[in-house]
A and B are shown apart, each in its own frame.
Chain A
């Protein structure tokens, strides 16, 4: 950020100095060309005077015209040829115009270069800032399950636990490990997505099976957090997408929905699917914290984490929905989200191209 600021100030000074320099050039050129014009006019006046003197000395008009062809001689009188003066004035204008255009182009090129470099530096600073914020966030996200894990292990070492208490601690530790594993997967997914290293191969994916597998993994958690998680996906609906991408997308959307409902101490998450014309639509409706309509675009942005009541929050890595959108874009699908407002739940719609019947 400091480098960018230094560059911006230096560039501004450079532009200001350049504008002053160009202004001086133009002024100098105008002054110089005026002097040249006056000198040419004086010289021409001398020629006219010389022609007149020759005429008055009896030199034949033809001879005078031959010696001084640029002087107009009419009725034995030498005079200024208006075309010559006009040509001198025109030449002066041409030179000044030429300098003005060249200076303008120079300034424009300079401003463009400064703009391009400044933009590149700003973008770089933003990336660095995002990376810093990402690292801070990731470290926070890891430290919480890590703290829980350490606490559980030290509790086991320090206390005499009943079999039931030991089982609870074991489950808690496994869950903390699963959380950390899930975070690592998300981070890796987002890095691969950004670098285009995901090799996605569309094939027919039976949605009921794919969704059922993910839902089953969340049932225990939903139960613990007082969330009624239901899935109503008819058999036979198949989409044309990469199976891994479908799994990742559904998992991320479900995790998001469960977190949103857990934040209001329980509720419902309903998954449903239906066939459209050439697509299959999967809907995930939750009764969670919802979001403001103005935050809809922010939802899918990298590192954006929305607080239920507005503002920032430390829920999630800020990568889940970013991964969802990128995955959907890469597999020819679409994702959208709507909410009636904060505290009113949310609806996520995922659409994929329907798989041709014969490939099922």
Chain B
């Protein structure tokens, strides 16, 4: 149980489900606010901050995927746990690529829901702790400079970059192991939770995005190297 009340927002249009989730989160010690549709959720999140959004996908006015994409576009990196009746792999990928952290299909077990909430918050806590000192908050490589706390970066050509939460987390995991091979599975487990994705291909897409941001020639990377069949190796100095 959290020592201080971690604030969460439940976005669910079904009043019964919203009430059930709220009661259980409160029983676990979380502070909970509720929004009944996507528009209200966006309004709430623009005025308040919280540490987790439990977001239904099928919502009136604005659907959950759009809410999440809008948040990310506005630079809001609050973790999102999607809840939806549509649990097929395609929808999962769609939700997670919209910027979600985890995806739970209805109907779900209460313990699993609470476990996932804790896992997301734990990952988030790890990221915050790992970026808490001035030395660990900033990463410099190949003329790029990344500020993990602000989710901002300046690339080698001087371009300002806004990082998504997942991009920053992947970079953080890689930066913690410079020169070492980090497997795709390790990246998945550290950043998303191992059982979230149906495949590891999405990790590859995020690495491509990082290369586009920070490599001088993304087609011939010198910092984010692929180790075929295993994962990735991050080199601060780059390949000479």
Contacts and interface: CB of A to CB of B under 8 A. Distances in A.
B60 A146 contact: no
Interface in B100-137: 106-111
B110 to A, nearest CB: 4
B17 A158 contact: no
Nearest to B56: A144
A145 B17 CA distance: 8
A139 B108 contact: no
A17 B173 CA distance: 64
Interface in B7-35: 14-17, 19-21, 23-24, 27
A281 interface: no
B140 interface: no
A148 B106 CA distance: 9
Interface stretch (A89-97, A149-157, A190-198): A149-157
Contacts of A308: 60-61
Contacts of A150: 107-110
Given A148-B20, A308-B60, A154 B109 contact: yes
A150 B16 CA distance: 11
Nearest to A313: B60
A154 B110 contact: yes
A149 to B, nearest CB: 8
Given A145-B16, A309-B61, A315-B60, A155 B24 contact: yes
Contacts of A176: 16
Contacts of A136: 86
A150 B17 CA distance: 10
Contacts of A165: 23
Interface in A151-177: 151-152, 154-155, 158-159, 165, 172, 175-176
Contacts of B17: 144, 147-148, 151
Q: In this complex, which of A148, A158, A225 has the most chain B Cβ atoms within 10 angstroms of its Cβ? A: A148
Given A136-B86, A149-B107, A155-B23, 7 more contacts: A140-B85, A143-B106, A146-B107, A147-B108, A154-B110, A309-B61, A315-B60
Contact of A155 (B58, B61, B83, B110): B110
B129 to A, nearest CB: 30
Nearest to A307: B60
Contacts of A313: 60
B106 A147 contact: yes
A244 B126 CA distance: 61
A313 B20 CA distance: 23
Contacts, number: 69
Contacts of A144: 14, 17, 85, 106
B61 A172 contact: no
Contacts of B24: 151, 155, 158-159
Interface in B61-114: 61, 83, 85-86, 106-111
A314 to B, nearest CB: 4
Nearest to A168: B19
B110 A158 contact: yes
8 contacts: A147-B83, A147-B108, A148-B17, A152-B16, A175-B16, A263-B60, A309-B61, A313-B60
Contacts of A172: 16, 19-20
A151 B21 contact: yes
Interface residues of B, number: 23
B176 to A, nearest CB: 37
Nearest to A150: B107
- Top 6 closest pairs, chain A to chain B, by CB: A147-B106, A143-B85, A147-B107, A154-B110, A151-B20, A148-B16
A155 B114 CA distance: 12
A259 B34 CA distance: 19
B27 to A, nearest CB: 6
Chain B CB count within 10 A is highest, among A139, A150, A165, for A150
Contact of A140 (B15, B36, B58, B111): B58
Contacts of B85: 139-140, 143-144, 147
Contact of A146 (B20, B86, B106, B111): B106
A265 to B, nearest CB: 8
Given A140-B85, A145-B16, A151 B110 contact: yes
A136 B83 CA distance: 16
Interface string A123-151: 00000000000001001100111111111
- Residue from the set B36, B83, B110 with the largest chain A CB neighbour count within 10 Å: B110
Nearest to A171: B16
A158 B111 CA distance: 9
A146 B107 CA distance: 6
Contacts of B60: 263, 307-308, 313, 315
A311 to B, nearest CB: 9
A152 B86 contact: no
A330 B90 CA distance: 42
Contacts of A307: 60-61
Contacts of B83: 147
Contacts of A154: 109-111
Interface in B153-197: none
A16 to B, nearest CB: 38
A314 B58 contact: yes
Contacts of A159: 24, 27
Interface in A61-93: none
Nearest to A144: B14
